[in-house]
Amino acid sequence: MSSDYRESHLDKGSRYDDDISDGSFNSYMTVRERVLVPAIIRDLFPSSGPKYLDFACGTGRITSIVEPLARDSRGVDVSASMVAEAAKKCPRTRFVLRDITTQLLDETDFDLATAFRFFGNAQDDLRSAVFKAISRHLVVGGYFVFNNHRNHGSARAILQRITGRFEDHADLDLAKIRRLMAPAGFEIERTVGIGWWQLAHRWDTPGAYSSGLARFLEPISTLNAVAPYCPAYIVVARKVAEPTGA
Ligand SMILES: C[S@@+](CC[C@H](N)C(=O)[O-])C[C@H]1O[C@@H](n2cnc3c(N)ncnc32)[C@H](O)[C@@H]1O
């Protein structure tokens, strides 16, 4: 597999939605994101819909959630096969096939950008370039809502490392996100987690996710102090300055 994450999904469009619906934590994240993302957007934009850009939109999973809340909606990705699926789900969104780290869009006046299931996988130089590219597309004061779906700093990852059973090669935690985003002019306003109670591999089952206990425990994940220890969390960041450097 290429070490450049840009090439990771070029031919995955027809399989992607099924691949992430396997009943595991992947599916649970999707279910929770359908609840959390609209609530966050409504909270950020209570009176008027934002001009919205979904970066690395893929098959339009997040685009289709935010599109109804936006006054104008764009999706951008480098994979034609992924964007072909997205276009079927999002009639009000204009999709652009482009790597915005090398060529900006014509429009750079977005109020809101999202990027989901991207930063956890991408390599560091691409992560940095994307933070800057997103910032260049946002107005000052605009919001960037994204997730880290492979949290190196989760309670479960820490427990696994202590017991020598660490299986994932994730390397992104909140401290690293802050370091990578600072030159792009972003500051974190809050974090909203998913699945803090996923502390052991044996609880990663469809039954656990649909249980009453999960429903009872899950709201704790959304606390700002708890989110950085969840296996996945959403970051709400605000553009406070223009990016520095190239
Ligand atoms: C795991 S998918 C996530 C799709 C969607 N955001 C979601 O949450 O389901 C990652 C996407 O990032 C895209 N990607 C990778 N590098 C990119 C880049 N430089 N510019 C735009 N898209 C990129 C891939 O083509 C792929 O569609």
* Mean pLDDT of the 156-170 span: 81
Tell the residue nearest (CA) to atom 24 of ligand 1.
Answer: 9
Which among 53, 67, 65, 141 is positioned nearest to 105, based on CA atoms?
53
Give the ranges where the chain is alpha helix by DSSP (H).
16-19, 25-44, 63-66, 80-89, 124-137, 155-162, 174-181, 206-209, 212-217
Give the amino acid at 200: A
d(CA 8, CA 120): 13
Average the pLDDT over each of 96-100, 198-202, 226-230 and give the range with the smallest value: 198-202
Q: For 84-127, how does the pLDDT look when each residue is reduced to its tens digit (9 = 90+)?
A: 999 999 999 999 999 999 999 999 999 999 999 999 999 999 99
Tell the residue nearest (CA) to atom 10 of ligand 1.
Answer: 118
pLDDT of 168 strictly over 70 = no
CATH match for 5-239 among 3.40.50.300, 3.30.310.220, 3.40.50.720, 3.40.50.150? 3.40.50.150
Q: How far is the CA of 163 from the centre of ligand 1 (A)?
A: 33
pLDDT grade, residue 200 (50/70/90)?
A: confident
d(CA 61, CA 54): 10
Domain boundaries, the chain: 5-239
**pTM as predicted:** 0.96
d(CA 78, CA 72): 21
CB 55 within 8 A of CB 73: no
- Average pLDDT of the chain is 95
3 state DSSP class of 72: strand
169-191 burial, b at 16+ Cβ within 10 Å, e below that, comes to ebebbbebbeebbebbbbeeeeb
Ligand 1: residue of 3, 20, 66, 79 to mutate (most ligand atoms within 8 A of CB) is 79
Q: What share of the chain has pLDDT > 90, as a percent?
A: 89
Q: How far is the CA of 41 from the centre of ligand 1 (A)?
A: 21
Q: Hey, what are 114's tokens?
A: 């999202």
| Ligand 1 close to Cβ of residue 150 (< 6 A) | no
CB 82 within 8 A of CB 16: yes
d(CA 129, CA 135): 10
Q: How far is the CA of 27 from the centre of ligand 1 (A)?
A: 18
Q: Which helix (H) or strand (E) segment is 186 a member of? A: strand 186-194
| Ligand 1 close to Cβ of residue 66 (< 6 A) | no
pLDDT for the residue numbered 48 = 92
pLDDT of 161 strictly over 90 = no
pLDDT of 40 strictly over 90 = yes
| Ligand 1 close to Cβ of residue 37 (< 6 A) | no
- Report DSSP letters for 137-167, one per residue: HEEEEEEEEEEESSBTTSHHHHHHHHTT---
pLDDT for the residue numbered 52 = 98
Ligand 1: residue of 9, 12, 28, 146 to mutate (most ligand atoms within 8 A of CB) is 9
d(CA 99, CA 83): 13
* Mean pLDDT of the 37-56 span: 97
